[in-house]
Amino acid sequence: MDQFPFVVIEGLDGSGKTTLRKGLFRLFDNLYGVTPLSVLTTNFLAPEVAADLVDGKYAPTEANRGRYLQALRADKQATIERLIAPALSQRPVIADRWLLSELAFFQVKHGQTPQATYGGLADAIDLVPDLTLILDAPTSTTMQRAASRSAGDSVRDDWDVDHVQTIVRVTYRAITASPAAFPKIGPTVTIDANQLRADVLANAWTALLERGLTPDLEGSLQ
């Protein structure tokens, strides 16, 4: 391992992404003395497209679909160049969503196929995740968890509904079933998110260990 890993966590709202991210953060920090960098799928590092990012996500229309796609390209390029790539020589990077979620969102909210969306984003993403952990659970479970969030956490009436989340889950599975068609997603591991949180974390950590994606005990690269 000549640099630290870039790890992505994907899953439906309420699947436990934030909990897993925090757990991995603590394991890297406590076991290896290295503090990961946490990023989101959208980081607003390209201010000139900020308005298009907001419009395309929260008020999706056919008219703003193209602008939203271009805005995502710019934001992901900036995130890779300014945050992820510089960090990997010093620390792991853990992303709460990345490319898989964008493909599913465009399918559901913009009516654009994952293949078309991937074609518009792939050449802007020159850094492939070392591993994408996909938390999978029935929508009945994830929606119940999402609904129980504190008032400060976001739940969208046009997104956190059963038929939409079901389509998202089906889309995730269809995309990951054809890895050769979406190589910039990188290797994936699907984890049963209907387990105890400790078991989800253990499964994720095992996946990292099996792929040599952890530093040595002094926190340096192997």
For residue 49, pLDDT over 50 is answered with yes
User: Phi, psi at residue 116, to the nearest 5°?
Assistant: -70, -40
Tens-place pLDDT, residues 161-190: 888 999 999 999 999 999 999 999 999 999
Contact (CB, 8 A) for 117 and 73: no
C-alpha dist (Å) from residue 180 to 8, 135, 177, 214: 18, 21, 9, 26
User: Is the pTM of the predicted complex or chain greater than 0.85?
Assistant: yes
Assigned domain for 89 exists: yes
Structural domain boundaries enclosing 72: 6-210
The answer to whether position 215 is within a domain reads no
Comparison of pLDDT for 176 and 159, the residue scoring more: 176
Query: CATH number of the domain that 124 lies in?
Result: 3.40.50.300
- Indicate whether 73 belongs to any domain: yes
8 Å CB contact between 100 and 185: yes
Task: Answer whether residue 216 is part of any domain.
Answer: no
Looking at the domain assignment, is residue 187 inside a domain?
yes
What's the pLDDT at 36? 97
The whole-number pLDDT of residue 191 equals 98
108 is a domain residue:
yes
What gap in Å lies between CA 183 and CA 134, rounded to an integer? 16
Q: For the segment 28-45, what is each residue's pLDDT rounded down to a tens digit? A: 999 999 999 999 999 999
Instruction: Provide the number of structural domains found in the chain.
Output: 1
Averaged pLDDT for residues 199-210: 98
Q: Would the pLDDT of 22 be above 70?
A: yes
**Hey, is 68 helix, strand or coil?**
helix
In a domain, 35, yes or no: yes
- Which conformational region is residue 190 in: left (phi greater than 0), alpha (psi within -120 to 50 degrees), or beta? beta
Lowest model confidence (mean pLDDT) among 36-40, 78-82, 89-93, 212-216: 212-216
Question: 141 in a domain, yes or no?
Answer: yes
Work out the average pLDDT over 192-205. Answer: 97
Average pLDDT score, the chain? 92
Residue-level pLDDT at 174:
97
